[in-house]
Amino acid sequence: MAIKRALLSVSDKTGLPELARGLYGMGVEMISTGGTARALEEGGVPVMQVAQVTGFPEMLDGRVKTLHPNIHGGLLAVRSDEAHMASLGEHGILPIDLVIVNLYPFAETVARPGVTFAEAVENIDIGGPSMIRSAAKNHAFVAVVVDPADYPAVLEEMKAGEGELSEATRRRLAAKAFSLTAAYDRRIAAYLAGRLGEGAGLPERIELSLPKARDLRYGENPHQKAAFYREEQIALPCVATARQLHGKEISFNNINDLDAAFSLVKEFEEPACAIIKHTNPCGCACGDPLAEAYRRALEADPISAYGGIIAFNKEVDAETASAIGSGGFVEAIIAPAYAAGALEALTTRKKWAVNLMVLETGSPEKVVLKDPDRLDFKKVEGGLLVQEADHKETTAANLKAVSRRPPTEQEIADLLFAWKVVKHVKSNAIVIARNRQLLGVGAGQMNRAQPVELAVRQAGEKARGAVLASDAFFPFADGPETAARAGVTAIIQPGGSKKDEDSIAVADRHDMAMVFTGVRHFKH
C-alpha cells in the first residue's frame, strides 16, 4: 500500500526541506501544523493546514491543534477492517499513512542555566507523543519517523518501492518511536520529581534510556563487543560531550581512562595536567604556563606515562603541544580547546601521531563546573549500585590539626593538592606530593601499609619534605611510620580509626604535621 498522505509536525527542522520535496515529488499529500507548515510553504511545497483537516482552529497558544478525531482516526484506523474504513467514510476522515514528528526540546530546555519551571513545563509536548504513539501502534499500516537521520533511508526505500515501506521498516521505526516517547516521559518525570521535592534522597525507581553514541572497537578485551551510550541531557564539558578531532577509533578502555583523566584536572582552577594509566594517575601537576604543568606531571613516573592518557583543564597551546610531541608514545589527549598550530604539532611530529586520539570538550571557562545532582552507577550482576557523585570539597577551613605541630601554609597547600588527587586513585590509595606535583602513588592494594611503601618507593628522595594523603584512615601506625622514615613532613587523612592515637603519636615523634578531614574518598 503506497503512502499517499503524510502528517508533518517537527520542532527540529533538520532535513525537512529535502524530505518534503522528496515526498512531494512522489505525489504525497502533506498535512502540517503551524511552524512546520510555514517552513514547507516557504520552501515551495504545498501543504494542508491541520485546521483544514479538523475543521477547528489551533487554540490555547497552540496547545490544542492535533488532538482531534480527524487526526487520530486517520492514524488509528485498521485498513483491513471494513468497519473502521466505513467509519472513516461516514465522518469524512482522511487516512494518514506517514507521520513525521519530533518533540519539543524538553531535555535541552531544562539543561539551560537559569531555565524557569514555567519554561520547562511549557516545553512538555502533548500532541507530538500522542501522534507518535497512535502511528506506532498502527504500524501495520502507518509509518512513523521521529529521527531526521532516518529521512534519507525512508525516501530511498519509498522511491525504490513505488511509494511503499516494508513491514520490517515500519516495525523498526515504531520501536524507535516508542523508545523515544518512553525516554521523553522519563526525563519529564525525573525533572518534576527533582523540582517538586518528591521522594527525598535517591529515587524509588530508576529507568535508563540512553541512545547509542557510537560503537567501539571492542570492550576491555578484544573478544568483547562494546558501545558507548550517552546521557542526552548532559551539557557539562566531559568525555561524553567531547568531539574527537584526530586519531583512530576510540575504544572502551580509552573512554574509561579519558573520563578518569579529565575528571581529575577538573578539580583545579589553575592550569593542570593529569596522566592516566588504567584509570589511575601516574602523573599530575599544576603549573603556569600549561607546558610546565605537563613537564611536572611527566616527571612523577615517565615509565608508566608511556602510552598513557593526558588531560588538561586549559587550552593546549603550541608550547605544550611541542613538549608532548618531544616525549614518548601517547595514546590520547583530552582538553577544552587547542590553540592555532597545536593540533598540527601533536598529530604530525611522531610516527605514533597518526593514531593519537585528540578530543576537545569545549567551554574551557566552565571546565571546573560539576553537576551537583549527578548520580554514579556501578553495574553488578543482577542490578545497579547507585550513589551520589563524590563532589565533596575540602578547604583549609575543614582541616583539623591533630598533631603537636600544625602544618605550615606551604604544607596546607600541598596537602589540599594531594587530597584532590587521592580522591581519583583506586583504593586503598596513597599519594605523595610537593609543590602541587604528584611524586608517588600507591593504588588498589589490599592493606594500607603496602600503598605507602609503593608511593615512597616511587617518590624516592623527593619524598623528603613532601606530604602524604590517604583516602581513608590508617588502621595501624605502620603506614605513617613508613612515611616518616622516608622524610614525609605532613599527612592528610580522614581520621576515625580506633587507633588514631597511635598514628598521631608517630607524627609527634617525628615532628610531622597530621590533619584530619572527617571525609573519606574510597574509589573502588
For residue 227, is it within any domain? no
Do 165 and 282 sit in the same domain of this protein? no
Number of compact structural domains in the chain = 3
Do 161 and 76 sit in the same domain of this protein? yes
Do 65 and 122 sit in the same domain of this protein? yes
Query: CA-to-CA distance for 404 and 513, rounded, in angstroms?
Result: 7
Helices 82-91 and 69-76 meet at what angle, rounded to 10?
160
CATH of the domain at 168: 3.40.50.1380
Do 246 and 343 sit in the same domain of this protein? yes
Cα angle 397-399-405, degrees, rounded to a multiple of 5: 115
Q: Which long-range contacts (CB under 8 A, 24 or more apart) does 161-169 make?
A: 162/2, 163/2, 163/3, 163/4, 163/26, 163/27, 163/28, 164/1, 164/2, 164/3, 165/3, 167/140, 169/143
Point out the domain boundary residue: 135, 169, 196.
196
Query: Given phi > 0 = left and psi -120 to 50 = alpha, else beta, which region is 92?
Result: left
Which of 4, 13, 137, 366 does the annotation list as catalytic? Answer: 137
Which of 13, 278, 350, 510 does the annotation list as catalytic? Answer: 278
Do 302 and 427 sit in the same domain of this protein? no
pLDDT tens, N- to C-terminus, the chain (524 residues): 788 888 888 888 888 888 888 888 888 888 888 778 788 777 777 777 776 676 666 666 666 666 677 777 878 888 887 888 888 788 888 888 888 888 877 777 777 777 787 888 877 878 888 888 888 888 888 889 998 888 898 888 888 888 888 889 889 999 888 888 888 887 777 777 666 554 456 777 777 777 889 999 899 999 999 999 988 767 788 999 999 999 999 999 999 999 999 999 999 999 999 999 999 999 999 999 999 999 999 999 999 999 999 999 999 999 999 999 887 899 999 999 999 899 999 998 788 888 999 999 988 766 776 666 678 889 999 998 988 889 889 999 999 999 999 999 999 999 999 999 999 999 999 999 999 999 999 999 999 999 999 999 999 999 999 999 999 999 999 999 999 999 999 999 999 999 999 999 999 999 999 999 999 999 98
Structural domain of 338:
238-366
Do 149 and 18 sit in the same domain of this protein? yes
**pTM, rounded to two decimals:** 0.76
Query: 137 an active-site residue?
Result: yes
Query: CA-to-CA distance for 268 and 336, rounded, in angstroms?
Result: 14
Do 498 and 421 sit in the same domain of this protein? yes
Point out the domain boundary residue: 366, 387, 409.
366
Contact 207, 187 (CB under 8 A): no
Query: CA-to-CA distance for 313 and 270, rounded, in angstroms?
Result: 8
Do 70 and 191 sit in the same domain of this protein? yes
Query: Given phi > 0 = left and psi -120 to 50 = alpha, else beta, which region is 490?
Result: beta
For residue 429, is it within any domain? yes
Query: CA-to-CA distance for 345 and 211, rounded, in angstroms?
Result: 35
Do 173 and 80 sit in the same domain of this protein? yes
3 state SS of 438:
strand
CATH of the domain at 439: 3.40.140.20
For residue 382, is it within any domain? no
